[in-house]
C-alpha cells in the first residue's frame, strides 16, 4: 500500500486526500465553491460567512475544529448560523480569524459566539470576544454543554456534542426574528439547559496523516459516552440496537437537572460518520417508542449525519425539552447548504 508511481508518499491511511496538511483548505475551497449562492469565504481567514446577513439583526458565529462535516460549516445560512470559523482537524481556530469574523458579521446589533465546551475553543473565542469589544463591537458568548455521558451535575465540565445543532437552530431563529443580543443570549442559555446528548461507537476514526485510531475498541464491543473523537466512559459487549437506545435514553432522561425534558421534545439521531442511514432509522424507531412509553411526545425529529467525527462508526442521541418558545424556534424556517426547513404553519 504505497503511493502513486513516482510518488513516495505513504497513503496507507486509505483516505481520499492529497497532502494531509491541506485537507481543511481544500475542503473549504470545495465547500464554498459548491455553495457560493449561500456562503462566502472571508478573505485571509478560514471563516465561512452567510452570503447575506440581515442588517440590524444579531449574528450567530460558531467555530471549532474541522473533521465533523457537515458541521459546522454546513449550517451557515438563513435562520441558522451566520458564520463559522474553521480550525484544522480537531484543532481550535485561531483568535485572529475569530476577531475578523466578528467584525464582518456585526451589522450594529452585535454577535453571539456559540461554541462547544472545549478548552482551546473557549480560550480562543473569549480572547477574540475581548479584542472585538475593544474595537467597538458588541459580542457575547454562550458555551454549549449538552453531553451527559459522565453523569456529572457540574454542567460546566460537560462537552458540547451533536445537540449543538438544536441550539444553533433555536438561536438562529431567534436572531432572524429580530431579537436583541441580550434576548438571543437568553435563548441560547435556555436551549443549552434544555438539551442533552450521549453517544456510542463501535469503531473510531483516524486523523488524516496518521495511522493510529483516535481510541481503541475491541471488535465485539461498543463504547458508551463517546464524544466527537474522544473516548467514552465505559465499554460493553455489543448488544442489539434496541438495548443500546434504551440505555442511552435512560442516561438522557435521568441526567441532572431532573425533570428538565418535560413532556414534549425535539430529537436528533446523529451519525458519527460511518453509520448507514438504515441503522440510524432503526435507532430512531426505538427512540420514539421508548419516549412514547414514558409519556413524552416527539414534536420534531431529525435523523442523519449532522455532526460527525471523521469515519467513526456510531451515533449519538440528542433530546431538547420544548416549551412554546423553543417549539416555535425549532419549527422556524431555515436554509443552509446541509439543512433546509420550510416554516411550519399553524
- pLDDT (tens digit per residue) in 107-118: 999 999 999 999
Is residue 60 within 8 Å of residue 144, measured between CB atoms? no
Give yes or no for residue 256 having a pLDDT over 90. no
Domain regions of the chain by residue span: 26-193, 195-341
Averaged pLDDT, 234-249:
96
63-103 pLDDT per residue, tens: 999 999 999 999 999 999 999 999 999 999 999 999 999 99
Residue-level pLDDT at 10 = 52
**Strand order, beta sheet including 313-321:** 234-237, 221-224, 195-203, 313-321, 264-271, 297-304
CB atoms within 10 A of CB 342: 10
What CATH class does 195-341 carry?
alpha beta
Residue-level pLDDT at 51 = 95
Residue-level pLDDT at 258 = 65
Give yes or no for residue 5 having a pLDDT over 50. no
CA distances from 190 to 162, 175, 195, 323, 341 (A): 17, 14, 9, 10, 22
308-346 pLDDT per residue, tens: 999 999 999 999 999 999 999 999 999 999 999 998 754
Q: List the CATH code of the domain at 26-193.
A: 3.40.50.10440
CA angle centred on 335, ends 108 and 114, rounded to 5°: 50
CA-CA distance, 201 to 223, in Å (whole number)? Answer: 5
CA-CA distance, 261 to 72, in Å (whole number)? Answer: 25
Site of grid cell 431567534: 174
Asked, colleague to colleague, whether 26-193 and 195-341 share their fold, the answer is no
Binned at pLDDT 50, 70 and 90, residue 1 comes out as: very low
CA-CA distance, 160 to 181, in Å (whole number)? Answer: 22
Residue-level pLDDT at 82 = 98
Binned at pLDDT 50, 70 and 90, residue 231 comes out as: confident
Long-range contacts of 187-191 (CB under 8 A, 24+ apart): 187/325, 187/329, 188/112, 188/114, 188/142, 189/142, 190/325, 190/326, 191/166, 191/167, 191/320, 191/326, 191/329
Residue-level pLDDT at 229 = 85
Residue-level pLDDT at 4 = 45
Is residue 271 within 8 Å of residue 310, measured between CB atoms? no
CA-CA distance, 143 to 191, in Å (whole number)? Answer: 11
- The three three-digit cell numbers of residue 334, written as one number: 431555515
Give yes or no for residue 265 having a pLDDT over 70. yes
Encode 266-289: b = buried (16+ Cβ within 10 Å), e = exposed: bbbbbbbbbbeeeebebbbebbbe
Residue 298 CA from chain centroid, whole number: 21
Give the DSSP H or E segment for 103: helix 95-105
Site of grid cell 472571508: 42
Give the DSSP H or E segment for 331: helix 324-331
CA-CA distance, 289 to 191, in Å (whole number)? Answer: 24
112-165 pLDDT per residue, tens: 999 999 999 999 999 999 999 999 999 999 999 999 997 766 777 899 999 999
* DSSP strand pairing (264-271 vs 234-237): unpaired
Q: Where are the beta strands (DSSP E) in 204-310?
A: 221-224, 234-237, 264-271, 297-304
Residue-level pLDDT at 257 = 66
CA-CA distance, 332 to 345, in Å (whole number)? Answer: 9
Classified as helix, coil or strand, 138 is: coil
CA-CA distance, 83 to 61, in Å (whole number)? Answer: 5
Residue-level pLDDT at 6 = 46
Binned at pLDDT 50, 70 and 90, residue 275 comes out as: very high
Binned at pLDDT 50, 70 and 90, residue 259 comes out as: low
Averaged pLDDT, 59-64:
98
Give yes or no for residue 25 having a pLDDT over 90. yes
CA-CA distance, 70 to 87, in Å (whole number)? Answer: 14
Nearby residues of 190 by Cβ (< 8 Å), 6 or more positions away: 325, 326
CA-CA distance, 205 to 109, in Å (whole number)? Answer: 40
Is residue 293 within 8 Å of residue 250, measured between CB atoms? no
Q: Active-site positions?
A: 68, 228
Amino acid at each position: 500500500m504505497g503511493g502513486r508511481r513516482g510518488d513516495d508518499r505513504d497513503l496507507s491511511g486509505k483516505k481520499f486526500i492529497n497532502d494531509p496538511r491541506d485537507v481543511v483548505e481544500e475542503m473549504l475551497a470545495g465547500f464554498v465553491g459548491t455553495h457560493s449562492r449561500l456562503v462566502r469565504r472571508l478573505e485571509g481567514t478560514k471563516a465561512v460567512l452567510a452570503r447575506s446577513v440581515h442588517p440590524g439583526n444579531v449574528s450567530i458565529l460558531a467555530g471549532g475544529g474541522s473533521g465533523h462535516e457537515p458541521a459546522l460549516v454546513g449550517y451557515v445560512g438563513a435562520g441558522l448560523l451566520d458564520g463559522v470559523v474553521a480550525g484544522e482537524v480537531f484543532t481550535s481556530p485561531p483568535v485572529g480569524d475569530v476577531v475578523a469574523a466578528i467584525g464582518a458579521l456585526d451589522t450594529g446589533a452585535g454577535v453571539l459566539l456559540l461554541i462547544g465546551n472545549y478548552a482551546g475553543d473557549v480560550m480562543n473565542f473569549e480572547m477574540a470576544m475581548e479584542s472585538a469589544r475593544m474595537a467597538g463591537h458588541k459580542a457575547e458568548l454562550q458555551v454549549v454543554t449538552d453531553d451527559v455521558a459522565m453523569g456529572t451535575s457540574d454542567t460546566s465540565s460537560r462537552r458540547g456534542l451533536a445537540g449543538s445543532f438544536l441550539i444553533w437552530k433555536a438561536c438562529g431563529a431567534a436572531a432572524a426574528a429580530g431579537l436583541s443580543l441580550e434576548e438571543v443570549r437568553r435563548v441560547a442559555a435556555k436551549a443549552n439547559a434544555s438539551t442533552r446528548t450521549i453517544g456510542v461507537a463501535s469503531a473510531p476514526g483516524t486523523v488524516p496523516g496518521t495511522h493510529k485510531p483516535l481510541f481503541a475498541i475491541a471488535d465485539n464491543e461498543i463504547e458508551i459516552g463517546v464524544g466527537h473523537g474522544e473516548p467514552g466512559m465505559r465499554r460493553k459487549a455489543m448488544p442489539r440496537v434496541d438495548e443500546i437506545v434504551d440505555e442511552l435514553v435512560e442516561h438522557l432522561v435521568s441526567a441532572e437537572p431532573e425533570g428538565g425534558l418535560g413532556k414534549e421534545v425535539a430529537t436528533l439521531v446523529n451519525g458519527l460518520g460511518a453509520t448507514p442511514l438504515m441503522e440510524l432509522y432503526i435507532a430512531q424507531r426505538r427512540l420514539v417508542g421508548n419516549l412514547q412509553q414514558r409519556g413524552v411526545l416527539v414534536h420534531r425529529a431529525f435523523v442523519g449525519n449532522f455532526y460527525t467525527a471523521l469515519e467513526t462508526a456510531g451515533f449519538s442521541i440528542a433530546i431538547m425539552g420544548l416549551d412554546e418558545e423553543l417549539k416555535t424556534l425549532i419549527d422556524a424556517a431555515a436554509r443552509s447548504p446541509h439543512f433546509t426547513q420550510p416554516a411550519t404553519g399553524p
